[in-house]
């Protein structure tokens, strides 16, 4: 039986020769697509978007400023900053957590942002 391009052996060679970050990004991207979410790299400002990815960082604003919680979501293709206004903490929103977020894509300082997104905490797979 002839080997198919992109078959088992080419995937094995890729896994053996790629670095861990590249493999992790590929895995996240595949899981995101399998969930029916959009790839973050394809999301455009002003459009409704649903993205699935892992939270890389979560930052709370200083106590003397307006309450804001920001998290960086990475889906393997691009980063999206999630911003919850009026919140200092949300249970379950922590680095390493996988979530699905939905809202209208915006842009701030050249970066993709979802303000007050609807979110769903996903189980690790």
Could you tell me if residue 13 is inside a domain? yes
Q: Would residue 56 count as lying in a domain? A: yes
Determine the Cα–Cα distance for residues 34 and 121; give it in Å rounded to an integer: 16
Secondary structure (DSSP) of 2-71: PPPTTSHHHHHHHHHHS-HHHHHHHHHHHHHHHTTPPPGGG--TTSEEEEEEEEEEEEEPPTTS--EEEE
Instruction: Say if 2 falls within a structural domain.
Output: no
Cα 52 from Cα 50, distance rounded (Å): 7
Question: How many folded domains does the chain comprise?
Answer: 1
Q: In this predicted model, what pLDDT tens digit does every residue of 84-119 receive, in sequence order?
A: 999 989 999 999 999 999 999 999 999 999 999 999
| CATH number for the domain that contains residue 53 | 2.40.50.140
The predicted model scores a pTM of 0.75
Answer whether residue 3 shows pLDDT above 50.
no
Residue-wise pLDDT for 41-61, tens only, equals 888 999 999 999 989 999 987
Whether residue 1 lies inside any domain: the answer is no
Domain that includes residue 63, residue range:
8-121
């Amino acid at each position: 039986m002839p080997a198919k391009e992109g078959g088992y052996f080419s995937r094995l060679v890729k896994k053996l020769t790629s670095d861990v970050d590249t493999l992790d990004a590929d895995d996240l991207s595949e899981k995101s697509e399998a969930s029916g979410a959009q790839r973050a790299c394809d999301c455009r400002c002003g459009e409704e978007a649903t993205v699935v990815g892992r939270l890389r960082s979560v930052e709370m604003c200083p106590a003397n400023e307006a309450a804001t919680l920001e998290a960086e979501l990475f889906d393997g293709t691009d980063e999206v900053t999630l911003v919850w206004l009026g919140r200092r903490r949300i249970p379950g929103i922590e680095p390493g957590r996988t979530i699905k977020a939905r809202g209208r894509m915006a842009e701030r300082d050249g970066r993709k942002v979802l303000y007050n997104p609807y979110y769903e905490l996903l189980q690790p797979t």
